[in-house]
Structure 1
Amino acid sequence: MIRVGICDDHAVVRAGLKQYLSEHVDVRVTGEACNGVQALELVRAGDIDVLLMDISMPDQSGVDALKAIKARFPDLSVLILSGFPEAHYATNLLRLGASGYLNKECDPEEIVKAIRTVSMGRKYISQSVAMLLAEGAAGGLERPPHELLSERELQVFLRLAKGETVGSMAEAMFLSVKTVSTYRTRVLEKLKLSSNSDLTYYAMTNGLIQ
């Protein structure tokens, strides 16, 4: 029996994953967390073999949580399940100790396959991530500007590109309006753009939003 902990700040996502995983006789969800702090507490309890974790959470990013968890529990398998495309974080998170990286749009059966793989102490590398790793090993092409954004800058960028206001973003991300505005300014500077409509166009042409 593979004991799985789920960490995601959306209750509906946790519920959906728990329901789906319950259909597999060799997998059992033994704990849930909604942020990085709770994830660390879940791991400390010692009742999980695999932690299935998002990286976009309001109080502590999954990236920081991963670093903290791997520093204390280096042998724990942490499988990242993110809404961000693999190109944004996969290779970096694997270097930080993640056992695998999946996009939330993947086939549900792939999640189970990945859980089974990492529970045996192996890395789960999807075809798209394998291509990224191969490109990196070969030198690859020059990275597009959005790949140079920090995690928080990327979150702000994608929310702005989808039409969210600074005010609503500040509330949803538990940040001040001033802080979100500062992130917006940094994003525009790094991408060499001048308006929110430019951000939307950039995101659409680079396949970051539909």
Structure 2
Amino acid sequence: MSLNKITIILVDDHAVVRAGFKMLLASSDKIAVIGEAERGEQAIQLYQELKPDIVVMDLSMPGIGGLETIRRIVQRDNEASILVFSVHHEQVYINRALNAGAKGYITKNSAPEILAEAIITILQGETYVEKGLLKEGGDSHKPGDYQSLIASFSPREFDIFNLLAQGLTVHKIADQLCLGNKTVANYATQIKKKLQVDTTAELAHIAVNLGVTIR
């Protein structure tokens, strides 16, 4: 941490959201936003250049997306401090973000003081999850065993499941994740087999019903 102020990079694909959070953080004389990014690839580059104390980022972004961004930053620096702020409150996203390497998770509708509290807690070496989130569990919509099946997906399976549910083709997913078309097609077949569905439309229906699509 810097001697004078906590340095932060804000990552969100909506400029209005970044401006709002920047204004919120500016009210503290202990915090300085030193960089902003609208997509994961840009965030990784900025992190390497600026070495902030903490990255405050959304999960829903074009390109490689938030979860993969977290994984790549942590791969480069296993001491990286990342706080997720998202519209998603489902247990599966909190678990995925923390498993990817994030140190904290709050929702975008949390009280303003929660953001500063989360940042301070994380920089003290602790994990911060907004109160109430870990109790959600997703029980209000859990048809069959889909929730547990999706929770058991590998990180790559989950990313591809999410992109398929958004309607992306195998080719577009391959381009976005820098994988071969055949690799993505194999993952898609494997995911459908696990969920016991034949079509991408059925897969998307499951994702929507469980509230587990990022965009």
Between the aligned partners of 2:53 and 2:193, the Cα distance in structure 1 is: 43
Instruction: Decide which of 45, 48, 51 is 1:41's aligned counterpart.
Output: 48
Residue of structure 2 equivalent to 1:155? 159
Aligned residues of 1:40 and 1:65 also touching (Cα < 8 A): no
Shift of 1:19: 1.4
Amino acid at match of 1:199: L
Q: Give the Cα–Cα distance (whole angstroms) in 2 for the partners of residues 124 and 191 of structure 1.
A: 32
Aligned residue in 2 for 1:165: 169
Closer, same or farther: CA 128–181 of 1 in aligned 2, 3 Å: farther
Alignment size in residue pairs:
192
Check conservation: 2:160, 2:187, Cα contact below 8 A: yes
In the TM superposition, 1:65-144 aligns within 5 A as: 65-71=72-78, 74=79, 76-81=80-85, 85-91=89-95, 93-94=97-98, 98-103=102-107, 105-107=108-110, 109=112, 110-131=114-135, 144=148
Residue in 2 aligned with 1:138?
Answer: none
1:28 aligns with 2:32: yes
Distance 1:162 1:97, change over 3 A: closer
Q: Does residue 204 of structure 2 align to residue 200 of structure 1?
A: yes
Q: Distance in 2 between matches of 1:84 and 1:154?
A: 15
Asked if 2 retains the 8 angstrom alpha-carbon contact of 1:7 and 1:39, the reply is no
Question: Partners in 2 of 1:96 and 1:151 — Cα distance?
Answer: 8
Kindly report the root-mean-square deviation, in angstroms, between the aligned alpha carbons of the 2 structures: 3.7
Q: Which structure 1 residue ranges, 5 or more long, are not aligned?
A: 134-140
Residues 180-200 of structure 1, C-alpha deviation per residue, up to 9 Å, x if partnerless?
A: 222211211222222112112
CA distance in structure 1 between the aligned counterparts of 2:97 and 2:208, rounded to whole angstroms: 25
- Are 1:58 and 2:54 counterparts? no
Q: How many Å separate the matches in 2 of 1:96 and 1:196? A: 26
1:68-104 deviation digits (Å, cap 9, x = unpaired): 2553xx3x5321345765422424654675320235x
**Identity across matched positions, percent:** 24
1:154-210 deviation line (CA, Å, top 9, x unaligned): 222223223333333334444443332222112112222221121122113222259
